[in-house]
Amino acid sequence: MSETGDIIVGIDLGTTFSLVAYADERGPRVLTDEQGEARLPSVLGFGEDGRVTIGWEARRKAVENPEHTICSIKRLIGLGMDDLRSELPFLSYHVVKGERDTVQVNIDGRLMSPQEISSIILRELKQRAERHFGRSVNKAVITVPAYFDDSQRQATRDAGRIAGLEVVRVINEPTAAALAYGIGARGTAEKPAKGRSVSLVVGDKTKCAGVGSSAMEAPAENSTLVVFDLGGGTFDVSILQLTDGTFEVLSTSGDTHLGGDDWDRRIITLVQDEVRAEFKVDIDSPATRQALRLLAEQVKIRLSTEQNAQIELDLGSGRTYRRTIDRSEFERLTADLVERTTSACERARRDAGLTNADLHQIVLVGGSTRMPMVRRRVEEFFERKPYTALNPDEVVALGAAVQAQILSGGRTDALLLDVTPLSLGIETMGGAMGKLILRNTRIPCRVVEQFTTFVDGQANVKINVLQGERELAADCRSLATFDLRGIPPMPAGIPKIAVEFLIDANGILNVSAREERSGANATVQVIPSHGLTQEEVRRIEQESIDHAREDMTAHRLIDLRNQVEFDTHKTEQTLARFGHLLSGGERAALERSMVELRRMAKESSDANALHQALDRFGKSTEMLANLAITEALREAPASNSEVSAGLETG
Amino acid sequence: MESWALSLHTAQVDAATPATAACPHCAALRSGLQPGADWQALLAHLATADYFEIFGLPPAFDVDEKQLAAVQRAIHRNIHPDRLPRGDEAAQAFALRASAIINQAFAALKDPVLRAEYLLARSGGKSASDDKQVPQGLLPQVMMIREELEEARASGDADTLARIKAGAVARRDETGGVIAGLCRELQSHGADMDTVRDALRMQLNAMKYHSNLVHELESSAAAKS
C-alpha cells in the first residue's frame, strides 16, 4: 500500500457473517475486530433507546429481542413481496411492502429498506478497516452470489453507497473464492472442533502425502475447477478455467434462496410440528422464531461432527419437549435440498460443455459445505474428492481483497473474466421474453436493438427489461422499465431508436438510446422494479450523512460532558489541598465558574459553546495549577519520591 | 499513471502469430497498447474489424482453438477494464466496449456453428436466419421424432428415450460434419459459391433443430436425476 494511494478493501457481505479483507504484496488477509475475530455476524439489533447494536452483541441478544433483531437480510435484498412468499413465515421481524415492488423492514414503525440495513453492516466493516489503517477507507470491492440478478447486484451496490463506500466492483463469490484459491491463499486454518481430534491439515503437502487423495493437492497452475459455494442463504456453482493467471468463468448456476438457513428451517418445522402434536402449543410466533433458529443452527452444526444431537425445549408450566435427532434422520429431512444443489451443478457442467473427466478440482466454499451430506453428494456427483483445505468462511473475502488489489494496479499477474448468470431480454408484443443476451455470456457484453414508435408524434417508448430463462415475460423477473424520452416527433414507425444494452464487468446493466435518423440521444429514465431509484439512494445517502453528523455531535457532547466532570472534579481536589494558597476572592471566583460550567454541561446541548466554556475554565485554573505544582515540588523530596522521580525522567 | 502504462506490456502473444496480422490496430491490441493510445480510433476500428483479423488468425473454418483462446486472453490482458487505469474515464469507456467486442468475436469463432455462420456472413449473401430454408425431408423427420418422444415420455419408456437421444446426438454431429465441409468449400472460392451458401444456410437451420432437441433431452434428463 502506498501511503497516498486509495485503500480498496474487499468485503464479503454474507447472509450469516460478513468479513473485510485487504491484500498487499504480502498477500491477502482478513481484518479482525478487537477480539481477533474476523467474522462479523450480519445481524442488527434495534434497542428501545434507539441504539443499534451490530454483530456478535446483536446475535447474543437476538433471543430476548426477536422482533428488533434483523438477520439474513441478504435473502431480502433487491427482491419484491412476491419473491419472498416462502421466506416471510420464517422471519422474526416484520416486512411490509414498499414503493413499487420493493420490501421494507418495519422496526416499531421505522421503515428501513434492506439496502439501508445492509449499509449498517458495511459501515461497521468500513470502520473496522479504518481503525486498522488509521485513516479513512472509502472504496471497496463487494462480493455477491454469482446467481444474483441485476436488481440484487444494484441493491448491494446501493447499500455500499449508503454506507459511504464507492463500490469499485461487485464480484461473484465463487469467482472471488477461485481467485484466492488460484493464487494460493487459503485463509486461517480452521480450529479443531471442540472435544474431538478432528484436525484439518492445510497447506502442508508432506503431511497429506499419506492421505493419497486428490483433495489435498495444491492448486494446479493451469486447470479447470468447480467452485461449489453453499453459504448461509445462497448457493452458487461456477466452473472456471485457470490459465497463466487468467481466471475464465465458463459457466455459473445456483439458487439465491438455498443455504444453511434452509437446513435450519427443516429442523424448526420438525420441532414446531411435534410440539403442536404433543402439547397442542403453537410455537410459531415471531418471538420464538429467533430462539428456534439458534437452536436449529446449533443442532445442525453438531450433526456435522456427531452422529446425534439432543433437542430440549422448555415450554413453561412444567412441560418440556425432548427428543434426539440423529444424522441420518436430519439427512432424510433435507435430502431434497442437497438435490437442488446437484441439479444446478448439472446445468453448470452442461453449459460449460464439459464432463467430469475435464474437471480437475472441486473447491468447497461457504460454511454449509461443512455438512457431511453435502461433501458426500458433491463427491458422488463429480466423481472426485472435493478440496476442503480452504477456510470456507474467509476465502471469499480474501478473493475480494485480491480483486481490489488488481483494480488498484497493485497486482498484474491475475485477471478475472466472468459471465452473466441469467439471460437478459425484453418483453415483446404478446408478452413473450425476447432474449438479447444469453446466460453464461462473458461480460462485459453489449447488444444493440432497434425500436420504433406506434403512434404519430410519439415522444417516448417504454421498454420492460427482463432477466430469466423462461419463455413468457410474466415468468421472468422484470428488472426495470426503461422509459426512452425525447424522441423527435415523427410519423409512426419512422424513428429508428437504437437501444444499447451493455452489461459491465460488475454484471450490471447499463442502457442508453439514440434516435438514429435525427441523431438525438434519448434520455433513459430507469424505474427499477425491485430496487431504489437514483434519487432514493441519494436521499438515503444524504440522510445517513446527516445522521452521521448528528451522531458525531452527540458523541462530542458526551465526550465534552465527561471532560467537564473530570476537570471540575480534579479542580475540587486541588482546591481542597492547595486552596489556601489562593486569596479569598480568587477562590470564590473559581468555585463560581465551576458551578457555572457544571450547570452548562447539564443543560446545554451546544457542543461548541461548551467547548469554549471548558477552555475558559481551563485557563482560569492555570494559576491554581501552577501554585499547586510549586507547592508539590517543595514537598516532594521529603514526602513524595515518586514525583521527583517523575520529574527527573520527564 | 506511469507504472500503469508499463504494466500493459506484460502480456505478449507468442511470436507464432500468423502473418495475416497486417492490421496495426489489431496487432497493438494483442501485443500491448502504447501509453496515450487513441482510444476512440481503436474502438472505431474494432467495431468494424474482421474477427479473424482481430485475433490474427487465417480466415478459415479450421482454427487452432488453443491459439484462439490464448490470443483472446492476451488481448484481455491489454484492454480489460481491470487492466486500464481506474480513474481514466476515456480509457475505461474504451475498455468496456472493446472488451464487449472481443468477447463477442471470441464467442463467434470458438463455437463451430457460430463460426460457420460468421464465415457465411463474411462471404456475403443472406444469413441463415434471414432465409429459413431447411433441407428436404427435415421437417417430417423432426415431427416423427417429436411424436415418438412424446409417446416415450408418456409411457416412461427409458430405453426409447435413450435411443432417441443417441439418434439426436448422432444427427447433430453428422450435420456438424456437413457444415464443416461446406465451410471449407466456401474457402476454396470455387465456381458455384451461391449453391454452397444455400446449402450451408440449410444445414445451419437444420442444426438448430438438432441441437435444440439434444439440449431439450439433456435438460429433461438433468431435471429428473
Q: Exposure string (b/e) for B71-93, b if CB count within 10 Å is 16 or more? A: bbbbbbbbbbbbbbbbeeeebbe
Nearest to A328 by CA among A265, A372, A358: A372
Residues of chain A with C-beta less than 8 angstroms from the C-beta of B3 = 409
pLDDT of residue A646: 27
pLDDT of residue A516: 87
d(CA A190, CA A564): 48
In this structure, is residue B218 part of a structural domain?
yes
Same structural domain, B28 and B118: yes
d(CA A330, CA A342): 18
Pairing of strands A110-112, A103-107: antiparallel
Helices and strands, number each (H, E), in chain A: 16, 29
Contact of B7 with chain A, judged by CB distance below 8 Å, is answered with yes
Would you say the C-alpha torsion A536, A537, A542, A545 has a positive or negative sign?
A: positive
Q: What is the complex's ipTM, to 2 decimals?
A: 0.85
Interface touch A444/B86, C-beta < 8 Å = no
**With 0-12 CB in 10 A as exposed, 13-18 as middle and 19+ as buried, what is A353?**
exposed
Residue A250 distance to chain B (closest CA, Å): 11
Phi and psi at A253, nearest 5°, equal -155, 175
Instruction: Please report which confidence band the pLDDT of residue A532 belongs to, taking 50, 70 and 90 as the band edges.
Output: confident
pLDDT of residue B23: 81
Interface touch B225/A342, C-beta < 8 Å = yes
Reply yes or no on whether the pLDDT at A30 is more than 90: yes
Reply yes or no on whether the pLDDT at A207 is more than 50: no
pLDDT of residue A436: 93
pLDDT of residue A179: 94
Same structural domain, B35 and B115: yes
Instruction: Please report which confidence band the pLDDT of residue A216 belongs to, taking 50, 70 and 90 as the band edges.
Output: very low
In this structure, is residue B189 part of a structural domain?
yes
Reply yes or no on whether the pLDDT at A195 is more than 50: no
Instruction: Please report which confidence band the pLDDT of residue B130 belongs to, taking 50, 70 and 90 as the band edges.
Output: confident
Q: A426-430, A627-631, B180-184: lowest mean pLDDT where?
A: A627-631
What value does the mean pLDDT take over residues A386-415?
93
- Residue pair B50/B107 in contact by the 8 Å Cβ criterion: no
Phi and psi at A44, nearest 5°, equal -120, 140
- Residue pair A175/A240 in contact by the 8 Å Cβ criterion: yes
- Residue in chain A nearest B77 by alpha carbon: A415
Residues of chain B with C-beta less than 8 angstroms from the C-beta of A346 = 222, 225
Q: Which of A347, A415, A444 sits opposite B83 (nearest CB)?
A: A415
In this structure, is residue B187 part of a structural domain?
yes
pLDDT of residue A567: 85
**How far is Cα of residue B78 from the mean position of the Cα atoms in its chain?**
21
Residues of chain B with C-beta less than 8 angstroms from the C-beta of A406 = 82
d(CA A248, CA A235): 20
Decide which of A201 and A42 is more confident. Answer: A42
pLDDT of residue A3: 47
Same structural domain, B39 and B113: yes
Interface touch B81/A409, C-beta < 8 Å = no
pLDDT of residue A415: 95
What value does the mean pLDDT take over residues A524-535?
76
d(CA A134, CA A383): 49
Positions of A marked catalytic: 12, 74, 173, 229
Provide the 8-state DSSP code for A192: P
In this structure, is residue B4 part of a structural domain?
no
Percentage of chain B beyond pLDDT 70 is: 88
Same structural domain, B85 and B166: no
Interface probe, candidates B96, B129, B216, chain A, greatest A C-beta count within 10 A = B96
pLDDT of residue B31: 85
Among B89, B122, B155, which residue terminates a domain?
B122
What value does the mean pLDDT take over residues A587-592?
90
Among B122, B147, B169, which residue terminates a domain?
B122
Domain containing B50 equals: 24-122
* Residues pairing with A511 in the sheet: A501
Residue B186 distance to chain A (closest CA, Å): 28
d(CA A180, CA A27): 10
Domain CATH for B104: 1.10.287.110
pLDDT of residue A189: 63
Interface touch A505/B82, C-beta < 8 Å = yes
Reply yes or no on whether the pLDDT at A20 is more than 90: yes
Same structural domain, B42 and B113: yes
Contact of B218 with chain A, judged by CB distance below 8 Å, is answered with yes
Q: Which of B76, B100, B101 sits opposite A417 (nearest CB)?
A: B76
Phi and psi at A29, nearest 5°, equal -150, 150
Reply yes or no on whether the pLDDT at A521 is more than 90: no
* Residues pairing with A166 in the sheet: A139
Residues of chain A with C-beta less than 8 angstroms from the C-beta of B107 = 441-442
Give the three-class secondary structure for A456.
coil
Same structural domain, B105 and B173: no
Instruction: Please report which confidence band the pLDDT of residue A608 belongs to, taking 50, 70 and 90 as the band edges.
Output: confident
Same structural domain, B142 and B190: yes
For residue range A452-510, what is the model confidence (pLDDT) as tens digits? 888 898 888 888 999 988 888 888 888 888 888 888 888 988 888 899 999 999 999 98
Residues of chain A with C-beta less than 8 angstroms from the C-beta of B82 = 406-407, 415-416, 505
Give the three-class secondary structure for B188.
coil
Same structural domain, B46 and B115: yes
Reply yes or no on whether the pLDDT at A26 is more than 80: yes
Contact of B169 with chain A, judged by CB distance below 8 Å, is answered with no
Instruction: Give the pTM.
Output: 0.80
Q: How far is CA A162 from CA A74, A114, B38, B68, in A?
A: 16, 11, 36, 43
Chain B 73-102, residues with CB within 8 Å of chain A CB atoms? 73, 76-77, 80-83, 85-86, 96-97, 99-101
d(CA A461, CA A520): 14
Same structural domain, B32 and B99: yes
Q: How far is CA A589 from CA A286, A474, A525, in A?
A: 60, 80, 68
For residue range A311-324, what is the model confidence (pLDDT) as tens digits? 988 888 888 899 99
For residue range A87-118, what is the model confidence (pLDDT) as tens digits? 888 888 889 998 888 899 998 888 899 999 99
Q: Cα-Cα-Cα-Cα dihedral of B142, B146, B147, B149, to 10°?
A: 140
- Residue pair A94/A82 in contact by the 8 Å Cβ criterion: no
Residues of chain A with C-beta less than 8 angstroms from the C-beta of B101 = 446
Phi and psi at B138, nearest 5°, equal -70, -45
Interface touch B82/A407, C-beta < 8 Å = yes
Interface probe, candidates A346, A437, A439, chain B, greatest B C-beta count within 10 A = A346
C-alpha cell at A268: 424448526
Q: A153-157, B3-7, B16-20, B60-64: lowest mean pLDDT where?
A: B3-7
Chains A and B form CB pairs within 8 A to the count of 69
Residues of chain A with C-beta less than 8 angstroms from the C-beta of B80 = 415, 417, 505
Instruction: Please report which confidence band the pLDDT of residue A129 belongs to, taking 50, 70 and 90 as the band edges.
Output: very high
Reply yes or no on whether the pLDDT at A119 is more than 60: yes
Same structural domain, B115 and B197: no
pLDDT of residue A210: 28
Q: Exposure string (b/e) for B147-183, b if CB count within 10 Å is 16 or more? A: ebbeebeeeeeeeebeebbeebbebbeebbebbbebb
C-alpha cell at A627: 501554585
∠ CA B14-B18-B23, nearest 5°, is 100
Total domain count, chain B: 2
Interface touch A441/B107, C-beta < 8 Å = yes
Same structural domain, B102 and B149: no
In this structure, is residue B110 part of a structural domain?
yes
Q: Which of B69, B81, B107 sits opposite A442 (nearest CB)?
A: B107
C-alpha cell at A341: 444443489
- Residue in chain A nearest B100 by alpha carbon: A445
In this structure, is residue B129 part of a structural domain?
no
Residue B185 distance to chain A (closest CA, Å): 28
Reply yes or no on whether the pLDDT at A537 is more than 80: no
Instruction: Please report which confidence band the pLDDT of residue A580 belongs to, taking 50, 70 and 90 as the band edges.
Output: confident
In this structure, is residue B12 part of a structural domain?
no
Nearest to A403 by CA among A417, A419, A415: A415
For residue range A433-456, what is the model confidence (pLDDT) as tens digits? 889 999 999 999 999 998 888 889
Q: Which residues contact B198 (CB under 8 A, 6 or more apart)?
A: B133
Q: Which residues contact B18 (CB under 8 A, 6 or more apart)?
A: B56, B57, B58
pLDDT of residue A462: 87
pLDDT of residue A328: 95
Reply yes or no on whether the pLDDT at B5 is more than 60: no
Q: Which of A350, A408, A444 sits opposite B222 (nearest CB)?
A: A350
What value does the mean pLDDT take over residues A238-267?
94
Work out the mean pLDDT of chain A and round it to a whole number. 85
In this structure, is residue B35 part of a structural domain?
yes
Among B93, B122, B151, which residue terminates a domain?
B122
Interface probe, candidates A419, A442, A447, A470, chain B, greatest B C-beta count within 10 A = A442
pLDDT of residue B221: 63
Q: Exposure string (b/e) for A313-351, b if CB count within 10 Å is 16 or more? A: beeeeeeebeeebebeebbeebeebbeebbbbbbbbbbb
Phi and psi at A156, nearest 5°, equal -65, -40
pLDDT of residue A641: 34
Q: Cα-Cα-Cα-Cα dihedral of A529, A535, A537, A541, to 10°?
A: -170
What value does the mean pLDDT take over residues A6-26?
95
What value does the mean pLDDT take over residues A620-649?
58
Q: Which of A407, A417, A445 sits opposite B104 (nearest CB)?
A: A445
Same structural domain, B37 and B114: yes
d(CA A355, CA A384): 12
Provide the 8-state DSSP code for A251: E
Interface probe, candidates B3, B86, B224, chain A, greatest A C-beta count within 10 A = B86
- Residue pair A467/A477 in contact by the 8 Å Cβ criterion: yes
Q: Which residues contact A226 (CB under 8 A, 6 or more apart)?
A: A237, A238, A239, A240, A345, A348, A349, A359, A361, A362, A363, A382
